[in-house]
Structure 1
Amino acid sequence: MRNLIIVGNGLSLSIDSGFFSLSRAMQDVWEGGSITEDEKELIRRCLPTGVDAPQNEDQLADLQEVVDACETVLRFEENDRGNGDWLTETGQAFPDAIRYYVHAVASEFHSETHDTNLEPPSEFLDALNENLLNEGSTIATTNYDGALYRGLCDRSSFKSYTTLDGFQGNPPCFHEALRRTHNKKGYYFHLHGSPLFVDDGADIRKLPREDVRNRTPASSRHLVLTHETYKTKIIDNSELLRAYWTKLSKLSNDFDRIVWLGHSGRDPHLNRFIARYFPAKPITIVEWNGAGNQAEREEYWKNKFSAREIKLIPMEKLTAFVDW
């Protein structure tokens, strides 16, 4: 069966709920020296009252609004042909400082060594690899951690270029090939980006996996870590992320079903996208069996995705799913 496989952070949390916790990563970066005390103070001023350090995306709305305001002023300043600075040095540097922080947080989910304990088990990966290889299924993940991606990179679906992520060459750079039609191939779409992707002049380059945790964080435009209100704006402002979402929108007739794996359904922009471009496609939802009783969860998902066939599969371990 040819699947569109939507992957959320529930898959990674089922592997190691501590390591793949977003609040853990945000706290470690905050306390680890990646940002200066002056930058911390500016961030604090953009957080909700009583919050000393960011712990989740919902707290980042005002912060993103300030970043957007600074970037707007900087664009006007650039068009002013050098007639004085409109922002202080701090204001000019603030957008990059926040992007460095976001990149550092995303990099926290990539282990410094190839630790198979931070990947799905071989049974899961082998079954998925066979489906990618033989059926041309596509993965679209909202995660930027290395669990699933790293586990698949050394398998035949990736090595044979049956599954494409849009990067080619040595070093790998984002390539126009993503925009071509490959009838027998599938894709790996990082819908919310990855710390692997950094700007290199006019190119978007993919870092070696082992380098992510061993280098200085980059000012990346290709990562979505913000309040829901601003996610689509970040996607639209990234050539890479925009290309991923555009390509996926054109594949609506390619799949037999959607497998919704470990995703909470709490990304309204993604739900709207699925409703618009895959309006009648059946969905198999694979979620943790501790999320609630069967009847409540079925009602929850019917409210998210109406007018289609929905099959709910609760599991104790999401990595035990192999019915591709």
Structure 2
Amino acid sequence: MIDGAEEEQSARRVVTGEAPEYIANEELLGCVRSSDEALGSSCAGTRTAEDPAVNDNVTVTSSGATEEVGEPMNGSTRKLRLAVAGCAHGEMEKIYEVLAEIEKEKGYKFDLLICCGDYQSVRNYGDLHHMHVSEKYRSLQTFYKYYSGEKEAPTLTIFVGGNHEASGYLAELPNGGWVAPKIYYMGFANVIRFAGFRIAGLSGIFNGKEFNRGHYERPPYSDRSEVISSYHVRNTDVWRLKHLRPADDDHTSNPIDIMVTHDWPAGIVDYGDKQQLIRIKPFFLADIESGKLGNPSTMQLLYDIRPRYWLSAHLHVAFAAIV
């Protein structure tokens, strides 16, 4: 990670700032309030053609990071302290404990936590029937404490869905919504504006067989195959996000600061230390050589919308790339 002073000469990475004022669902909800009174009631940060912004490179990272993110590309001088988690797997209590330790050590508070899928918003044992995991991992974990009100999330949290989710619960919020106080699900595909930053998200993982079908699954799912297919990325959702591409390819006109997905864009390994990745995960080699590692639809999306940062998880290994 790099700080704000170095950011301009590199490919801009994650950054610092004041307390958040609002979170707004740009596409559907206008301004949305959470139970946190620190969230204001107004949406801010609209862009004009005169706003200065540059977006020459895209930085793609995988897995967790707890550092800083710089200024949004809308001309605002606001900065943001951002924490990023890879696969949460329902262990929110532990994640918040780690954030608290970092905050104590560094002497500041994070404004936002982004989780890149496999969040597992399991409220009760019934939700476990709609989650695709092996029996040994079929556990409530700790999200239910934040859902029930036993605890409150200390940091505003947003997440996309992965391939291990309480799919029945998330199906109730296809366009995104609050799954618990201060915890926001991005839906199948969505854009929010937070403290002047535009953050886009796409839930699920790629499966070629399901890609061109609609979201036909409805809970309670008729069989296990529907539980599995429910978390597959659909072309309609990628298509929606492609409309974020600015007119005339002017990527400074209304940029995406951060894009969040669960699986990696296909071919992204060619832009980072591929050999180091193979040393850590040698069983990736066959999929890399066959072009099967990652999501082919999101690599094209990356080129179309060119966010400043692209955050992914899924493969349980840290990997950084600059496109």
Q: TM-score, normalised by structure 2?
A: 0.31
Q: Larger radius of gyration, structure 1 or 2?
A: 1
More helix by share: 1
More strand by share: 2
